[in-house]
């Protein structure tokens, strides 16, 4: 397919945020070209989270890619907190008027979006090198890149930066126009994926004297487990047996007895950080997802925040092209950041509550203990956790 030299929206990044935006724009009759520096196989091979809020499920449905999510996704109406060797269930549905989350892997969402874009014959450039964005502070932004040895330049009305934390879009904004906020946590998560049945039908968040752990899943036969680990840890330093042995030590006795183990399909370590850049719009360049903000994975807000950004942005472009209103574009950053900061607060709080901090004082540890005791005793505190966990409303107006 020959590449266009002119389109309406140029999307940088073909991860789930960029692909979802492209699909929503297609449904609204808006042309978009997606430019991605990695191969399609690389994008699809990323192992990421899979706890989906209802607002994200609604966006995927609106994009026409919700069929497999609804057929194969696992609805979860509760989570468990394991503290001091005892499990405590948080009834998400009862505390939020029947709302829930759905477990469906980000890899599968990406696969569904790729398939829909391919079926519609929409243009995506993978393995685009030397990508650069230009003139987004004027009326005619453009993107340059090299693909298969040829340099291309595409002009558009707008550029959507969905290219992640290390992408070119935020890096192209003058430093004087940005304000950034960041907290780096003094530990990481060692994750292991295995084809073994989950130890529980619902996620278990574990606070242990040995460090945090999470028991999660991708399907009824595939599990994802995490261990808090030092920042200098390397996946290769952990054998499968060592991982399973350490996980057992952090679980309550009943859960440890039920744990099924097996060879790792994938093992990796992720650092934890909270990061936000303000604003999220610079002329005709709009940032979305990890290009604008990062949350620690505790509470699974990363993909869901990216989906809410994209929903705001798609709604704004739809209003611009089809209703001749630019209010959504003008207010995009304000609306997106209002939701971002609430999710940042929840992710920071949940991370601070459930992890061991190497530099914590005795007072700080007692405050953690008191916060957890209050949470486990107070229906009001549990309702606040549940409301944030299932996802806050998406305020379009």
CB 182 within 8 Å of CB 274: yes
Rounded to an integer, what distance in angstroms lies between the CA atom of residue 20 and that of residue 16?
6
Classify each residue of 278-288 as buried b or exposed e, where b means 16 or more C-beta atoms within 10 Å of its C-beta.
bbbbbebbbbb
Q: Which residues pair with 87 in a beta bridge?
A: 82
Catalytic residue (one of 26, 76, 315, 355): 76
104 is catalytic: no
Catalytic residue (one of 205, 225, 226, 332): 205
CB 164 within 8 Å of CB 45: no
Tally the C-alpha atoms within 13 A of residue 328's C-alpha that lie toward its C-beta. 20
Q: How many CB atoms lie within 10 A of CB 116?
A: 20
Q: Which residues pair with 90 in a beta bridge?
A: 79
Catalytic residue (one of 16, 141, 296, 297): 297
205 is catalytic: yes
183 is catalytic: no
Rounded to an integer, what distance in angstroms lies between the CA atom of residue 101 and that of residue 388?
11
Query: Which residues are identified as catalytic?
Result: 76, 205, 297, 301, 389
């Amino acid at each position: 397919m020959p590449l266009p030299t002119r389109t309406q929206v140029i999307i940088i990044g073909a991860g789930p945020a960029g692909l979802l935006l492209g699909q929503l724009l297609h449904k609204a009759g808006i042309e978009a070209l997606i430019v991605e520096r990695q191969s399609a196989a690389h994008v699809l091979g990323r192992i990421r989270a899979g706890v989906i809020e209802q607002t994200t499920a609604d966006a995927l449905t609106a994009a026409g890619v919700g069929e497999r999510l609804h057929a194969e996704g696992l609805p979860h109406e509760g989570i468990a907190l394991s503290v001091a060797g005892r499990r405590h269930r948080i009834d998400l549905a009862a505390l939020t008027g029947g709302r829930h989350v759905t477990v469906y892997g980000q890899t599968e969402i990406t696969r569904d979006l790729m398939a829909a874009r391919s079926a519609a014959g929409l243009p995506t450039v993978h393995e685009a090198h030397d990508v650069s964005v230009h003139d987004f502070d004027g009326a005619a932004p453009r993107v340059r890149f090299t693909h298969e040895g040829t340099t291309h330049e595409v002009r558009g009305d707008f550029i959507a930066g969905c290219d992640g934390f290390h992408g070119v879009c935020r890096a192209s904004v003058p430093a004087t126009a940005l304000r950034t906020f960041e907290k780096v946590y003094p530990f990481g998560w060692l994750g292991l994926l295995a084809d073994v049945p989950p130890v529980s039908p619902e996620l278990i968040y574990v606070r242990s004297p040995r460090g945090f752990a999470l028991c999660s899943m991708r399907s009824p036969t595939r599990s994802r487990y995490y261990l808090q680990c030092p920042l200098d840890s390397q996946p290769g330093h952990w054998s499968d047996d060592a991982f399973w042995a350490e996980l057992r030590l952090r679980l309550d006795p009943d859960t440890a007895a039920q744990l099924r183990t097996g060879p790792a399909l994938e093992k990796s370590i992720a650092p934890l950080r909270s990061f936000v850049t303000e604003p999220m719009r610079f002329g005709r360049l709009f940032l979305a997802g990890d290009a604008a903000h990062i949350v620690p994975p505790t509470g699974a807000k990363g993909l869901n925040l990216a989906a809410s950004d994209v929903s705001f942005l798609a709604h704004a472009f739809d209003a611009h092209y089809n209703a001749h209103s630019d209010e959504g574009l003008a207010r995009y950053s304000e609306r997106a950041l209002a939701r971002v900061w609430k999710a940042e607060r929840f992710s920071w709080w949940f991370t601070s509550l459930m992890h061991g901090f190497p530099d914590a004082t005795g007072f700080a540890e007692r405050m953690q203990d008191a916060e957890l005791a209050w949470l486990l005793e107070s229906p009001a505190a549990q309702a606040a956790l549940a409301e944030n966990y299932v996802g806050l409303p998406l305020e379009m107006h």
